A = this chain, B = another copy of it.
């Protein structure tokens, strides 16, 4: 059994893996090679290095483990035609993204940007406007796995959580849940509005001016989903007119954000370069999902964690 990684985990992660599966022949090589692919039974990839032609070369290949949640760059039809099993690391972003969301919210409530700035000026000044997270209300747009984890931690901080999803059916770690069609009616009560919505026909440019009008002027808006939830011009206008207190943006209509965008200069905007899910522990987490799957695969099981219907894309 040959397992071919098209990336190289650090020795401290690679060695225990090799030791745990003495019956498996592992190859770790950065970048994809036809020669290695030809001999591989299982392929472990970030999912951006495959083509129709490479799938043809991979004649022994039975399972592709994609160490990514995005399937957009996979040659789906070629894989489906060959009936190659695909699984991925869905959910891997949950913890790092949630920690980023909480970090940004707490940093704003507890004055960290001002503390850092004062330090850079060697300035001891106790007159900062600090406030508290506990006792506030948060609206979570998209209470899926990530949204629920955000909800769980916000509730631990004493925050009342309101989930907004398609159906309005109750969702874990949400004190209340409403359908997205009613979103605008719930905005006026939210101190914090967090979106982790994907880009769909229902969400694209959903937040027009009227939504920012409906928000509290003290509200913090965080977009960690997709940039096309709101037009950049609408966001800039809302921030310039102080319709809300602050926006933390990890995603943008166009990425990278143009150097010319006025967003960079707004003191009530935080620009995070789409890194909220990044983590030095990414490969460690991927292997923690891969190992039990490989155990199961070797026993002949063919229902692995995070199975992907490659034609559907998830």
Q: A residues touching B (Cβ–Cβ < 8 Å)? A: 95-96, 99-100, 102-104, 106-107, 109-113, 115-116, 118-119, 122, 124-126, 128-135, 152-153, 156-158, 256-257, 259, 264-265, 270-276, 278-281
Q: Bound complex: CA of A128 vs CA of B111, how far in Å?
A: 22
CB distance from A231 to the nearest CB of B (A): 19
Q: Is the CB of A130 within 8 A of B280?
A: yes
Other-chain contact of A126, B106, B111, B133, B273 (Cβ < 8 Å): B273
* A122: nearest chain-B partner, CB-CB: B264
Contacts A/B (CB < 8 Å), 19 sampled: A96-B130, A99-B106, A99-B133, A102-B102, A102-B106, A103-B103, A107-B112, A110-B276, A113-B116, A115-B271, A115-B273, A119-B271, A124-B271, A128-B275, A129-B280, A130-B275, A130-B279, A131-B279, A135-B281
Least CB distance from A62 to B in Å reads 33
Most B Cβ at <10 Å: residue of A95, A110, A113, A280: A110
| A interface SS class | loop
Contact A273 B124 (CB under 8 A): yes
Give the contacting residue for A259; candidates B103, B122, B128, B256; CB below 8 A. Answer: B122
Question: Chain B residue with minimal CB distance to A118?
Answer: B273
Residues of chain B lying within 8 A (CB to CB) of residue A265 = 122
Q: Determine the distance from Cα of A67 to Cα of B129 in the docked complex, in whole angstroms.
A: 19
Q: Is A126 a contact partner of B257 (Cβ separation < 8 A)?
A: no
Q: Chain B residues with Cβ under 8 A from A104's Cβ?
A: 110, 112
The smallest C-beta distance from A223 to any residue of chain B, in angstroms, reads 15
